Amino acid sequence: MRIRLCLAALSLVGGAGLATLTTPTASAATCADLDVVAARGTLEPGTLGLIVGDPVFSALQQKITGKTLSSYAVNYPADLSLTSAATGNADLVNHVNAQAAACPNQRFILVGYSQGANVVDNSMGISSDGAVVGSPIVATIPAAVEPKVAAVLLFGNPIRALGKSVTGTYQSRTIDFCATGDPICQNGGTDVLAHLGYTSDAGAAATFAAGKV
């Protein structure tokens, strides 16, 4: 029921005004200094994600000066199927590995919203299995590539409703937003619309990332 409510609210709010946001075009610029890898939320429209990915990328472009940025939208269904998050997990790791091989000096900013946060969690080796639209881990960023991840930006992260969070190697590079009452990331949360308000955190997320690059 919570998932259906959130998806219904996403559709309504998107139609009511979020669609007016300017969405940047994802690009695969050759060996940019920073590659922003974004996994959108369940059924979220937009190039990188209308609610989080697109506004965060725009904010990063403003906050990070003197460096070139490219972007990549994780290629996965972002639906309610049992294999959706696992598909995103595999694609994110494959992309990062390929970029690391082709562009040895490139660093990464990982962005995940809702189900997309599950994708990022899994890719860092933190299982989202048992979380809303989660999955078991199918791939992880190799230890040799891990230092290239400059920052991790998570929003409405479903594992938090399980009492889990990002710990270990990536903890100091991660900021994890969970709005008060968001039922996807807060156990017992009842404010469905709170899950759709993370656009307002784009600037804070970009400021955090800028301090890590």
Q: Which of 71, 114, 123, 128 is catalytic?
A: 114
Find out whether 41 and 51 touch, Cβ atoms under 8 Å.
yes
The reply to whether 95 belongs to the active site is no
Query: Looking at residue 18, what DSSP letter applies?
Result: G
Q: Determine the 3-state secondary structure of 11 from DSSP.
A: helix
* Strand pairing category for 107-113 and 174-177: unpaired
Kindly list the strands in the beta sheet with 174-177, ordered across the sheet, starting from the edge strand earlier in the chain. Answer: 69-73, 34-39, 107-113, 149-155, 174-177
The reply to whether 165 belongs to the active site is no
Amino acid at 10: L
The reply to whether 127 belongs to the active site is no
The label of the residue with tokens 């992260």 reads: 157
- Would you name the residues annotated as active-site residues? 114, 182, 195
